[in-house]
Amino acid sequence: MRHELITDAVLVKNYIDGDESSLSVLIHRHKQKIYSFIYSKVFDRDVTEDVFQDTFIKVIKTLKLGKYNEEGKFLPWVMRIAHNLVIDYFRKNNRMPKFDNSGEFSIFSVLGDQALNAEKQLIKDQVECDLRRLIEELPEDQKDVLVMRMYQDMSFKEISERTGVSINTALGRMRYALINLRKVIDKNNIILTN
Amino acid sequence: MAKLYSECPQKKNNLTPKEETIDFLLNYSKALSVIHCNKLKFEALLN
């Protein structure tokens, strides 16, 4: 109760002179007014907490740098800083709208991380490795067509030119390559899914 | 007498900052020191 008798101006002066406890008194004396003021503008506890903190960081810096000169008007000055920071907050948010995920609509239902996690990446590598070994087992002509089509991304026209067979033959070899692969996969119960 | 059906505005009784926030500010204040050097002022945050 003793602190209530000391005016803000004296506390500010004491704080500037190095008395840290004066700041504690000032904060506790005005915290509710300032906090409520900020909350009445932003209606969000977390944002209020941030703005409150930034307000006092500014107050502390200004006082310590000796730039404060509004004797006797401590609270209106702090309120003005809080008000400016609230405006800054709204300006920043208008420029970069934020999605809060609290409503029924979840942003993550339409946005996803396409990257595989470590386990899925391992499985994918394993599947691709198994498939390569199966392809190696195919007859040479079928294997060539399949590799050129799937791994080298060549068209059937290019494959036919490269291998010296007609497009239809290349298509047929591709078809048999896939049929044979499926047979081997079914026969050995190989699971090639991620 | 007519009844009032409008809801009472929600009262937020505990509109005060968290203790952690205040502690942070007090610690920040203690850590911050201003160094005066030839008319220049430097802020130093010493933890």
Residue of A nearest to B28 (CA): A57
How far apart (Å, rounded) are the C-alpha atoms in residues A139 and A128?
A: 19
Decide which of B10 and A6 is more confident: A6
Distance from CA of B3 to the nearest CA of A (A): 29
**pLDDT at site B36:** 76
- Chain A residue numbers touching B32 (CB-CB < 8 A): 60-61, 64
Residue of B nearest to A18 (CA): B30
User: What are the beta bridge partners of residue B37?
Assistant: B40
Tell me the C-alpha distance between A37 and B17, whole Å.
Answer: 12
Inter-chain touch A52–B34, beta carbons under 8 Å: no
> Which chain B residue is nearest to residue A34, measuring alpha carbons?
B16
**Does B30 contact A65 at a Cβ distance shorter than 8 Å?**
no
* pLDDT, greater one: A164 or B34: A164
Whole-number Å distance between alpha carbons of A117 and A120: 5
Distance from CA of A104 to the nearest CA of B (A): 23
The pLDDT of B2-11, averaged and rounded, is 67
Which of the 8 DSSP states describes residue A118? Answer: H
Q: What is the pLDDT of residue B4?
A: 73
Q: Which residues of A touch B (CB under 8 A)?
A: 20, 23-24, 27-28, 31-32, 35-36, 39, 48-49, 52-53, 56-57, 60-61, 64-66
Give which of B10, B20, B47 is closest to A50, Cα–Cα.
B20
pLDDT at B6: 73
- The helix (run of H) or strand (run of E) holding residue A110 is none
Whether B35 contacts B41, CB under 8 Å:
yes
User: In chain A, which residues have pLDDT < 50?
Assistant: 1
Token reading at A47: 């944002």
pLDDT of A102: 66
All structural domains of chain A, each given as residue ranges with its CATH number in brackets, are: 2-107 (1.10.1740.10), 118-187 (1.10.10.10)
Joined together, the tokens standing for residue A166 give 């007609």
pLDDT of residue A189: 79
> Whose CA is closest to A141, among A165, A119, A115?
A165
